[in-house]
Structure 1
Amino acid sequence: MFNNQISNKMLKYLIPFFILFSFLSFKIESENDLKCIDFHKGKFYLINKDTNRKYFISRKIDFQSEKTFNLKTGKKFSGIKNYKIKWKNDCEYTLIIDTSKKNIDETDLYINSNGGLNCKIVKIEGNCASVITSFENSTIESKICKYE
């Protein structure tokens, strides 16, 4: 009987503890998951194996700059590309090439004249997001990862 009373008293204290612990564990895990809004600013990298390029991206809420490197040699391609970002919602945005900066060409002007590059974050895992970028009738899916 004495042991049974101790067990009942311990259960009274342990059950709320386990409930609280479970809630806190879930909250901590949820806080570590990135959301679309976490990709609005920061430093990122993107690897495109199809084009053999690696991009380093620095993003503020409405501005993005990119440095592009050859994936195999590590050599930098041309200058920095600068974009204005127009957010449609937390997960969708349009990249418009900033023509006030240097390093623009006819392709850049063509992209802008057709509304820019439409991007949509479709999935987030860890610190990386899968992004579908569309322009005219083509789409490319890439993975952008936040490192800072």
Structure 2
Amino acid sequence: MKINRLLFLFLLISCFASSQQKNLNCLDFSKGEFRNIDTNTGSISIIIRNGEKQLEISNGTESYKKVRWLDDCSYVLYFPSKEARKDKFKKFINENGGITVTMERTDGKTLYYKTSYNDGKQIITSEGRLVKLSNKASFN
């Protein structure tokens, strides 16, 4: 009888522990589909990232970026060359170091980050968070 109680208690604790949300790390955000929330503007977009490439969908508009990883928790975004040739601002961003993203911390499936880039007059910074939706990371 005592063994049955211990077994029941063990199973109950095991079920509770496995239902707890896993705290993801930086590498978990290098690939997948995410909801991006810009803390400064409140804008929401979907990001699909597959290591070195990223697609951002915002208000029905798609924007591709190249990702250059600096380490596990920081990377630089660049606009594709073809796109940058058509847009002086994007070309300027690319020529002046891209958009640096630093992953600050994770909480469950949410990653908090900071971005910065040089707009020619000053360093522009922003904050936001990525919420991991899935490990799916395919796009054209």
Displacement of 1:50 = 3.8
Provide the C-alpha distance between the structure 2 equivalents of 1:104 and 1:40, rounded to a whole number of angstroms. 28
Question: Which residue pairs with 2:128 in the alignment?
Answer: 142
Provide the C-alpha distance between the structure 2 equivalents of 1:36 and 1:102, rounded to a whole number of angstroms. 28
Larger C-alpha radius of gyration, 1 or 2? 1
Q: 1:80 to 1:89 in 2, by over 3 A?
A: same
Task: Give the letter aligned to residue 117 of structure 2.
Answer: F
| Cα RMSD for the two superposed structures | 2.9
**Which secondary structure state, in structure 1, belongs to the residue aligned with residue 81 of structure 2?**
coil
Percent identity over the alignment is 28
Decide which of 81, 93, 107 is 2:75's aligned counterpart. 93
Question: Which residue pairs with 1:117 in the alignment?
Answer: 99
TM-score by length of 2: 0.73
Moved over 4 A (4+): 25-30, 101-104
Displacement of 1:26 = 7.3
Question: Which residue pairs with 2:33 in the alignment?
Answer: 43
TM-score by length of 1: 0.70
Provide the C-alpha distance between the structure 2 equivalents of 1:39 and 1:122, rounded to a whole number of angstroms. 12
* Gapped regions of structure 1 (runs ≥ 5): 1-9, 70-75
Larger RCO: Structure 1 or Structure 2 (Cα < 8 Å, ≥ 6 residues apart)? Answer: 2
**Which secondary structure state, in structure 2, belongs to the residue aligned with residue 51 of structure 1?**
coil
| Count of equivalent residues | 128
